[in-house]
Structure 1
Amino acid sequence: MLELHHISRSFAEHLVLDDISFTVPSGALTGFVGANGAGKTTTMRIIMGLLSANSGSITLNGQRLESDTRPNFGYMPEERGLYPKQPVIDQLIYLGQLHGLTRSGARKRSMELLARFGLDGRAKSKLESLSLGNQQRVQVTASLLHEPDVLILDEPFSGLDPIAVDAMSSILRDYAARGVPVLFSSHQLDLLDVLVDHLVIIQNGKILANSPADQLRRTQASRHRLSLGSDTGWLRDEPGVSVIDISGPDALVSFETETDAQRVLATALSRGPVAEFAVHRPSLADIYREIIK
């Protein structure tokens, strides 16, 4: 397990990270989400030792990370860091050797990963000749060459087409299944529900949520969605009902008890047709939007 303990970081007078703590469990895909400028990239750079924290510490399996204790981390920065005029395979082999692979081992591993992304036929192409999405696939390949024990990926799905998203998702699941802590940021909230086991939400340099995805869903499991034949504003005056959102004939509410739910349903039927009265399973994107309000 990767753990951050009370990390703070300022740039000049601007406090970017404000005493943040969260966990990246082993064997789980942890989504790290927040608006632009929330502090995600700064946090990842501190995890990788590219930036220092003003205070706090980071531990892996209980052992404090120092400047020389990240040799088997895999990192993909948001800004691509490869060489545009060099052939793909040449620079992947070079990077693999920097991680201690033999030249033949680096070539074999590179071709295996490129094949998973459908790029084995472009191995000898210069990076600049590839589309931005394919350059992103190569960047991800570079972060995986050495079979890392921890994966830190900043916007790995950016620019990927659906096929590449599927390939990326499969690779990340494979690593999680091996017990690797995987932390990735993404602005594509629709990916959260299908990928994330654990969710960390950051806003203005503060952690607002750090929980297993299923636990976050359970906190909102009592919600119901109503769709009636008329305006639902009367729900605001019903005892035992908390209104979360109302838009004309549609409402999202929570009930204190099942008795309250049945009473409201009966009242709704007495007022006219009820098109929908159902338990609402919130998506993680819904939960994210609710938490940052």
Structure 2
Amino acid sequence: MISVENISKYFNRETILHDISFSLEKGEILGLLGPNGAGKTTLMRIINQIISADKGYVSYGGDLIKEKHLINIGYLPEERGLYQSMSVEKQILFLGKLRGLSSTEAKDQMEYWLKRFGIQAWRKKRIEELSKGMAQKVQFICTVLHEPDVLILDEPFSGFDPINIELIRKELLNFKKKGKSIIISTHNMNNVEEICDRAILINEGHMVLQGTIHDLRQQFKEDLFKISFTGNMISFANALWTGYEIIDKEVHSEDSFTIYLKMREGNKINDLLNAVIGQVNITGVEEVLPSMENVFVKSINAQNEVLSE
């Protein structure tokens, strides 16, 4: 749907983006990650043709992206742009028409989304009278009103409580089921793990990582396993040898434990199980993969060390 090829951007001789390339596939949710100032918003603005790249290009459906393609894109900027003195109803209809909807289409879509978000009673309220979360809902409605094929969302969960975060998350997954393609820039790593298919990580304008969520977590794993068992803790510990390091433990009862172990010296999980089976009753075994937050922090720290050399 979207292809970004070798995009670079400079401001006042400072490199904001350096040779960034990635693609957004149909029916995919892509996480665009990076610390503040990494260049994420600049990249989103380039894709939306708000600003131009100094090098590289963006294509839509295989064609060089042009103004005519923007009608198929819904963009939610981080800087929310609602007219404060306008009512919710007038705001939605106005922006719907700007996106090419007829009055009837805009009204039908508005009614659908006001009902879906349970805010019909707020339709006559001015934007300035709304809470931050309520205004966020209106902004989201304006972004998706014209049923775009591509959504580009800059911090879509900002300003929402956990209930409304879950509401937006479900809507994004519904869009994915319909074949919509979505780019999300967010600092909420839990949402990245739960709804994104792939992620790219940018730091100081450079591409640091990209891949599926599964592959990225696998890439940074540390051979850490969680073993749950019933039996004697001392018997379990005595069955181990120097190839394993106990990192942490949870005591559930006198004879029920969960142990976090790190493999060393090339040992495998089967070696561990062979050592402790017969000593205790194993009730669960799970490899502990790093969270996307850990992947994010380790990658940024490593990149910063390289850039500082």
TM-score range, shorter chain: 0.7 to 0.9
After superposition, give the CA deviation of every residue in 1:60-83 in whole Å (9 maximum; x if it has no partner).
222221344322210011011110
Alignment correspondent of 1:212: 212
Rg larger in 1 or in 2? 2
Retained in 2: the 8 A contact 1:265–1:277? no
Aligned: 1:4 with 2:12: no
Residues 109/255 of structure 1: CA separation in 2 closer, same or farther (3 Å cut): farther
The answer to whether structure 1 residue 97 and structure 2 residue 105 are counterparts is: no
Distance 1:120 1:64 in 2: 40
Q: Is the 8 A contact 2:226 2:288 kept in 1?
A: no
CA distance in 2, matches of 1:124, 1:117: 15
**Corresponding position of 1:284:** 292
State the shift of 1:118 in Å: 2.1
CA distance in structure 2 between the partners assigned to 1:14 and 1:253 by the alignment = 43
Distance 1:267 1:288 in 2: 35
1:49 partner SS? coil
Shift of 1:285: 2.3
Gaps of 5+ in 1: 230-236, 269-275
Contact map agreement 1:4 1:58 (CA 8 A) in 2: yes
1:163 is aligned to 2:171: no
Matched, 1:44 2:52: no
Tell me how far 1:169 sits from its aligned partner.
1.0
- Cα RMSD (Å) of the superposition? 3.3
Q: Which amino acid aligns with 1:109?
A: Q
Q: TM-score, normalised by structure 1?
A: 0.84
Report the Cα offset of residue 218 of structure 1: 3.4
Contact 1:32 1:184 in 2 (8 A): yes
- Separation of aligned partners in 2, 1:155 and 1:292: 19
Aligned partners of 1:111 and 1:123 also within 8 Å = no
What percentage of residue pairs aligned between the two structures are identical? 33
Question: What are the equivalent positions in structure 2 for 1:1-293 lying under 5 Å apart?
Answer: 1-220=1-220, 223-225=223-225, 253=262, 257=266, 259=267, 278-293=286-301
Distance, in Å, in 1 between the alignment partners of 2:202 and 2:127 is 34
The Cα shift of 1:106 comes to 0.6
**Cα distance, 1:86 vs structure 2:** 0.6
SS of match in other structure, 1:75: strand
Output the CA distance in 2 between the equivalents of 1:155 and 1:105. Answer: 28
Tell me: CA distance 1:222–1:92, structure 2 relative to 1, closer, same or farther (3 Å). same
Q: Supply the AA of the counterpart residue of 1:89.
A: E
SS in 2 for 1:152: strand
Within 2, Cα distance between the matches of 1:19 and 1:255?
39
Pick which of 18-27 and 215-224 moved more. Answer: 215-224
Could you give the per-residue CA deviations for residues 199-257 of structure 1, whole angstroms, max 9, x where no partner exists? 11111111112212222233346721479x9xxxxxxx96xx8x9xx978897745574
